Structure 1
């Protein structure tokens, strides 16, 4: 299978710059080889970035490769991307469009020998909630779909319903790409088809704290070989569990001021409770939410003392209406925001979150023999969110993180030369001893 090379390096270490230099160097090499061998096929690149705002960087930084950004043709960017692959163009697009690629496009990518570069990890597994229980029953009762007993993938009955269009056309397409997986009998997961990654001659992923991501668990479950690398002083080096980040963290520590005071009490761990987790919010009283909202307002107005336009906050979307308050409401940034400079002016941030794997997805990986690292997953999500702020440009920030667990993860990360002070396995060993 295709080997996945991961450039796991701390924010600001130059991962994207390294990749751009690598692409340009490969182009120069291809041009030189073409003089000696007119039949030489130059390397073709497909670059996948989180947001449209990141597309321009590759277009402008690699002018000789003439990267193309798919545009709406007949109302569909996917149609244009298909044509660009047919023409053998270098392409830069977003994660969102990459998720929509079908088998015919991947076969073309394979034939053309494209190299895939992914900026930030792919969203590879998620709950599929676009099919109601009633529609699911209708599909199975009419034998329009069935579950493959080996792969557990939802399959379309092409023999009985070859020309189905309309209401279930999207389900049919997802079945054909192998993107829907049955779990716990009554639920479906959307999963990126792993065989699509084997269509590329090489895959490079640029990220940080990769081993905490679902993408890492997914690649392990699918049997891929993962080669861990990092960037140090502009050069490619062997990965060392983040222990080369010491100097960067020392600089970062001086820029981060974390609130430590009585308003954090609402997030104190208590037995088996996980304050500020999704389940906690589901059960939280009106009084508890009112207290958290009041504390957040106080943090921004009396602790950070920052104007509203420089404030940012996040929580679970389901409680956003009940937590928004004076001086920060318009500063909402989704917890999964990545790769954007849109919020680089934010000076004070409230992270009203206690992050855990979705239990169904965690169970799915567990059934496949993969143990996920909950703490590194949570740490990675929080750090990515914090790095939307002005710390990206080296300016100080003020943080309110009332969850005791999340605050400890951040302190542990800042004060160690590795990813966190102890991995989940090491913590279990220490408790057992």
Structure 2
């Protein structure tokens, strides 16, 4: 049984540097790698940095899909570097090819492993009453949606649901919702799995492993004379946040009043018609902070908030809520609140985090209905840290940040003054070496 290695360490500790050294040092005879990262520019960086083996990036050419090309490369036993988006499309053929060619997975940052499937109110009952789908429980008591064999030939507006069900990706939640679930046995097809991340304890992929009873061990990374090495988590270098606390200047003042209530600035708060005037206040506050408090400009600022629904049919149109909140002169400084694993903003020093993060309630309930306890605050803090660390704080340079949500601001302060969020989950293995004996 594969045990997942979670390399949990702060940005700047050398997780990616370790991975590059590891892939360079391992023999091409003994190791084949799949390196998965959120962004294409990171694919190119890894291809250039790993010099003793050639990494291939699946392409879509002349009617051949990226998934088809991935299968071709897997079948040839090539080393592969690709994105989260393609890896999420893995199917039964992908799993068989990974298993038969004895691959090691290095996953740069956690990925979306579950997602609520959009449904109208009566869609699920309609499909059940039509005899198209049925509920099936697996040996762990998890409920999946099965598309009935005699209805496979049906061509309907529910084809996306059919394909997810036929791939074993569709699970049932709370009497009225469906959850796309990346088949967890995909990770068990690898010889070894390494996830490079930080604050894994609060992230969905941790709860997903708990749900599917996948064992994971915590590791950290440290630098020695011979290079970067992995160590059991209990032997990690404790994160001294003294300098970090000095480098993060958190705004305190009247501009924070708008976020005093616990659920202020949550997604549902932004969507309430009664709060439309407060969106104008928030926009003015962000402008005031960036312009008057920081003397920021488009080259120093970053900000984020809820996107909201798209305006118009064109995908390039930004969200409705974001457009109402964007501070004047800083439209191009917006990056998504889910941004992670990129270094392209590491010169930015003036930040405005205009959101109070809560889990999707359906996805939260999905885990809880199977007895998996989730921690909203640990998840929100991990999301905040990932966003803030896109800035120059990753290089130990000072930043100024406006976080009007009292809840989110309090979580960041708690993080800076304690180790509470960095304690490993109780069920994690923390005293063993990496699963690859070569290490």
Candidates 245, 248, 255, aligned match of 1:253: 245
CA distance in 2, matches of 1:120, 1:420: 16
Deviation at 1:308, TM superposition (A): 2.7
Candidates 20, 45, 51, aligned match of 2:39: 51
CA deviation profile, 1:164-184 (whole Å, cap 9, x unmatched): 457444333211221111212
Alignment TM-score, normalising by the size of structure 2: 0.86
Q: How does 1:359-378 map to 2 (within 5 A)?
A: 359-378=361-380
Question: Secondary structure of 1:409's match?
Answer: helix
Which residue pairs with 2:284 in the alignment? 294
Q: Kindly indicate whether residue 77 of structure 2 is the aligned counterpart of residue 88 of structure 1.
A: yes
Which residue pairs with 1:109 in the alignment? 98
Q: How does 1:172-251 map to 2 (within 5 A)?
A: 172-233=162-223, 234-240=228-234, 244-246=238-240, 249-251=241-243
Deviation at 1:44, TM superposition (A): 1.3
Deviation at 1:259, TM superposition (A): 0.8
Which residue pairs with 2:311 in the alignment? none
Q: Is 1:243–1:418's contact at 8 Å kept on the other side of the alignment?
A: no
CA deviation profile, 1:97-128 (whole Å, cap 9, x unmatched): 00001111211111111111111012111211
CA deviation profile, 1:364-423 (whole Å, cap 9, x unmatched): 2112221112211111100110111222333322100011111111112122355379x9
CA distance in 2, matches of 1:289, 1:208: 32
CA deviation profile, 1:287-329 (whole Å, cap 9, x unmatched): 3222211111100110011113322111111221221121322
CA distance in 2, matches of 1:323, 1:308: 16
CA distance in 1, matches of 2:215, 2:351: 38
Q: How does 1:268-283 map to 2 (within 5 A)?
A: 268-269=260-261, 273-283=262-272
Question: Secondary structure of 1:317's match?
Answer: coil
Unmatched 5+ stretches in structure 1: 32-41, 424-433
Measured at CA, do residues 278 and 168 of structure 1 come closer, stay the same or move farther in structure 2, by a change above 3 Å?
closer
Candidates 77, 83, 86, aligned match of 1:97: 86
Q: How does 1:57-72 map to 2 (within 5 A)?
A: 57-72=45-60
CA distance in 1, matches of 2:83, 2:330: 30
Measured at CA, do residues 291 and 242 of structure 1 come closer, stay the same or move farther in structure 2, by a change above 3 Å?
farther
Stretch of structure 1 that moved more, 232-241 or 9-18: 232-241
Candidates 324, 338, 341, aligned match of 2:340: 338
Instruction: Name whichever structure is richer in helix by fraction.
Output: 1
Q: Is 1:245–1:418's contact at 8 Å kept on the other side of the alignment?
A: no
User: How much is the aligned-residue C-alpha RMSD, in angstroms?
Assistant: 2.3
Which residue pairs with 1:285 in the alignment? 275
CA distance in 1, matches of 2:263, 2:161: 36
CA distance in 1, matches of 2:230, 2:420: 18
Candidates 324, 327, 331, aligned match of 1:325: 327
Deviation at 1:134, TM superposition (A): 6.2
Q: Is 1:3–1:227's contact at 8 Å kept on the other side of the alignment?
A: yes
CA deviation profile, 1:241-286 (whole Å, cap 9, x unmatched): 977111xx233223221111111111113xxx42111232233522
Q: Is 1:242–1:419's contact at 8 Å kept on the other side of the alignment?
A: no
CA distance in 1, matches of 2:235, 2:175: 38
Q: Kindly indicate whether residue 161 of structure 2 is the aligned counterpart of residue 171 of structure 1.
A: yes
CA deviation profile, 1:123-146 (whole Å, cap 9, x unmatched): 1112111x4456555543432222
Stretch of structure 1 that moved more, 10-19 or 53-62: 53-62
Deviation at 1:235, TM superposition (A): 2.5
Stretch of structure 1 that moved more, 14-23 or 147-156: 147-156
CA distance in 2, matches of 1:176, 1:116: 25
Which residue pairs with 2:66 in the alignment? 77
CA distance in 2, matches of 1:96, 1:165: 26
Measured at CA, do residues 155 and 344 of structure 1 come closer, stay the same or move farther in structure 2, by a change above 3 Å?
same
Measured at CA, do residues 361 and 166 of structure 1 come closer, stay the same or move farther in structure 2, by a change above 3 Å?
closer
Task: Give the aligned length.
Answer: 405
Which residue pairs with 2:147 in the alignment? 156
Which residue pairs with 1:34 in the alignment? none
